[in-house]
Amino acid sequence: MPGRMLWLALAMAAFLAGCFAPRAETLARGWRPDGPAGLTLSQLLALSPGIKATTWESFAGPAGATDVRLTAEYGVGRLASACPGLTAGQEAAARAFLVLGLTVTPAGQVDFAYAEARGYAASGAWRSTPLDIGVVADLVAKAAVLPCAAFTLPKGS
């Protein structure tokens, strides 16, 4: 019995010290950009047209915050068909990504940090297009979030 009490005391101390606090990535996945009644970021990504895969990464940030980066790969064929055709000097992307950066404060608040669209062609050409917080509104609206620039790349870039 005394060993059990010691284990319970240690578990309680660890809990109070934050050892069981949610990881920043978990908080970012559960972020509700449309407010408490809205869908979580993970749910919005699941509904976003054309997503093939997602990768989450966490990094130490300034002042005890954690930077969380989501990289979502989109299916090029389905989304690129809504864009104008290629012109001279352009080539089609073979892969396209949304990169979304979030900051999670030590208190657990999730904030938008940055976003960009990246397109890569089979030839090695690529383009990065900065996006603003409007990309989060597009996710909430369940609209396509990548601009056509992610699908039509300058040759040799």
Contacts for 41 with CB less than 8 Å, ≥ 6 apart: 28, 29, 30, 31, 32, 33, 70, 139
- Tens digits of residue pLDDT in 107-149: 999 999 999 999 999 999 899 999 999 999 999 999 889 998 8
The CB density around residue 76, as the number of other CB atoms within 10 Å, is: 20
pTM for this structure? 0.82
Average pLDDT over residues 48-55: 92
